[in-house]
Structure 1
């Protein structure tokens, strides 16, 4: 939570600058004094990152409209009671917000007034290399062509507004501005039934997630290895790709966001890049796992360029590859079949992991694991025989058990009938357009 003293400090900074510029006062700009007893998230962030006085002021300037809508108006009005234009201060109006929103011009005015040389020294606050950009704290909004860059609004990322005002970060929700959905699971690694080869490959991803930070920074490999880790999960639906991604996040304390590429791709030229750009910009420095489902939609085998849409489709693929290769976190692309993905793209991955249809023994384990403990099976049911006879995946098995359990409850019983289990198997086969002999 924010303490009142931070905004009293900012108010005094603004008043001092206005005294200097409008009244010729010899007032000094106040210096922020950190107090160890101040346990607010804002004070902690300032101490942890050893922010300089100009950085503290910039941070507070960006945060102020989110706390007090009239903050800037009330201070300026006290100096200009009759109103009037004051372009030196900068500032902009929002669509809904009725107060003043700070711009880059506002920051330079507050920090340096009309001193041109001094103003230029503070431009680095908006550079890509500055802590504010590296940590995704705040940035200047893009402006129309021909307008000064510093006239862009000073925008603090939503996550930091949440953190500094409430002490916690709300997780982004699926929307047109954020085409990704948080995926979580209550299951454990023991619930994921895969062959030994696939399990070993997944363990290597977990090793990367645990040790990459030390390898890159403390062991000095940052200049030799590309940032991030790129994996292709290949396998038919229901074989555990999404569950694996969820478990990787769960056991390494990372959020996993699923992006359905078939939904992100737009029929409008240029919109796909815009949709993806929003996602990667939000994901920067968040340590999220990005799970791109239905990757075949964008990374399928390429054909010749026949029209403008083919040309732009290739540009979309190139753009996504660039963003994936520049992303410092784990990116997983999921495809129904490895052969669906163009070979030119597969070379970009650190690893390709194939999720196969479970073997007879693996299917038997899945059957046994997913039947509720307090449910009985009638005497006709032989799980070993069912596992051997019906080549289905884990998702199919869960669906069949779900169906059979509902039928059991409807009969006010706790014993699954063989006929209900067979009916469930038949439904799964028919759903996938397959024929089945239940005899």
Structure 2
């Protein structure tokens, strides 16, 4: 039966969609669906030559996915079955109408109506019917396609919507991960917004490595993190160390507030092309049993295979020491820590935990860190450098300014210095006088230290 070609229905959307492998695949899949229905309803022989591979020059997202993942023919059919309604509303209904012009249902085909989508949405039954029709032996052999035996389900690209107890599990709707749907159809994926379903905030900085003042020993350890990011794939895949080493890299940053822990994490992302997310622990921790683990699972599942850097600030609030079990609360608190230990060990990306004190961390975590980096308070020479490079060039330092004396006399951190500089800049702008004296700086210093009772 002649069917309308998909590429006659899809308009160019500015991202090369009409020239992409996805259009070729949907053309093929439309004919495949029609062929299965013709075989089932009209006893016609089903002829399928298979979907050709993408052209070497095709760099569209779906073509890159097909080349990298090399799905089997059956996996590709299940994926296209799930993806098609994301692009063409009524995809299945239009084909079905050619075979059932008077209407009617075909229970074998499966499918359900969505809450907002008026067209048919595929279920596991739909995909199994398209692949095996009424062939019981073949249907049984293909059930593993809907389990972790298939990389599509193992990597959560696809999933089956849960069904009511007692109903066949394949009657659940086939779900395509929202990020894969977005990248397949638009060529890009937006970063997740912080919220209940993703308790982390995307953080960036306009600062550079030159703005970060650290002791030489700390710089060397930070360079190790950059090396892991740069050479991880070579080490784990090309050299085969993925069989021997645990996935990912776990590091503890500890030291007083304002010593550069957050800025270091952000700069690592900036200069290695990775997104950095600061985890909001207040949204993760729950007084309800099991909710903390659920929130953490949501976070790590979202970050899986993304090459993101996860930054847990004040991590001892969650990753702290386990206690002796005195009551049910202690028991479940310890279970939370154990679950965290398990998930952080299995996460394949860079995970940074930050704490003011190393001793606050559970010993089980300490043993499993790939690296532990201490961020000490700046010494006088480092405090002087922070002061010298933080003031904007628009301000004019008067002759009485002695930054060496200030750096020697006051134990200032990087965050202290930036608060002092902001205070002095605003005062200068307010009085319309850009000259800064020693007294102005000292006033800012005392004001900052008084906030901490010093």
Matched residue, 2:263: 243
Question: Are 2:147 and 2:154, in contact at CA under 8 Å, matched by a contact in 1?
Answer: no
Give the secondary structure class of the aligned counterpart of 2:17: coil
Q: Give the deviation of 1:323 after TM superposition.
A: 0.6
Q: Give the deviation of 1:231 after TM superposition.
A: 0.8
Matched residue, 2:323: 303
1:145-197 Cα offsets, whole Å, 9 max, x none, are 54433233222222211211111221112121111122222222222111122
1:295-325 Cα offsets, whole Å, 9 max, x none, are 1111223333343332222111111110111
The TM-score with structure 2 as length reference comes to 0.89
Q: Is the counterpart of residue 18 in structure 1 residue 33 in structure 2?
A: no
Matched residue, 1:33: 52
From 35, 60, 64, the equivalent of 2:84 is 64
RMSD: 2.2
Matched residue, 2:217: 197
Q: Is the counterpart of residue 290 in structure 1 residue 310 in structure 2?
A: yes
Question: Are 1:408 and 1:417, in contact at CA under 8 Å, matched by a contact in 2?
Answer: no
Q: How many residues align?
A: 434
Q: Give the deviation of 1:265 after TM superposition.
A: 0.7
The 1:399/1:55 distance shift into structure 2, 3 A limit, reads: same
Q: Is the counterpart of residue 102 in structure 1 residue 122 in structure 2?
A: yes
2:163 and 2:419 mapped to 1: Cα distance? 52
1:390 and 1:337 mapped to 2: Cα distance? 22
Q: Is the counterpart of residue 9 in structure 1 residue 28 in structure 2?
A: yes
1:205-231 Cα offsets, whole Å, 9 max, x none, are 111222222222222222221111111
1:338 and 1:320 mapped to 2: Cα distance? 17
1:39 and 1:213 mapped to 2: Cα distance? 22
From 418, 443, 454, the equivalent of 1:398 is 418
1:350-392 Cα offsets, whole Å, 9 max, x none, are 2211111111111111111111122212333211111111112
Which range is displaced more, 140-149 or 216-225? 140-149
Question: Are 1:404 and 1:424, in contact at CA under 8 Å, matched by a contact in 2?
Answer: yes
Unaligned runs of 5+ residues in structure 2 are 1-15
From 203, 222, 225, the equivalent of 1:183 is 203
The 1:316/1:118 distance shift into structure 2, 3 A limit, reads: same
Matched residue, 1:210: 230
Question: Are 1:182 and 1:257, in contact at CA under 8 Å, matched by a contact in 2?
Answer: yes
Matched residue, 2:404: 384
2:327 and 2:92 mapped to 1: Cα distance? 52
Question: Are 2:320 and 2:337, in contact at CA under 8 Å, matched by a contact in 1?
Answer: no
The 1:379/1:146 distance shift into structure 2, 3 A limit, reads: farther
2:448 and 2:168 mapped to 1: Cα distance? 61
Q: Give the deviation of 1:21 after TM superposition.
A: 1.7
After TM superposition, list the pairs within 5 Å mapping 1:262-273 onto structure 2: 262-273=282-293
The 1:391/1:14 distance shift into structure 2, 3 A limit, reads: same
Unaligned runs of 5+ residues in structure 1 are none
Give the secondary structure class of the aligned counterpart of 2:279: strand
The 1:144/1:187 distance shift into structure 2, 3 A limit, reads: farther
From 427, 433, 437, the equivalent of 1:413 is 433
2:60 and 2:320 mapped to 1: Cα distance? 50
Q: Give the deviation of 1:396 after TM superposition.
A: 1.2
Which range is displaced more, 100-109 or 330-339? 100-109
The 1:140/1:389 distance shift into structure 2, 3 A limit, reads: same
The 1:378/1:120 distance shift into structure 2, 3 A limit, reads: farther
Q: Give the deviation of 1:398 after TM superposition.
A: 0.7
1:48-101 Cα offsets, whole Å, 9 max, x none, are 433333232222212122212322233234433454443322223434333332
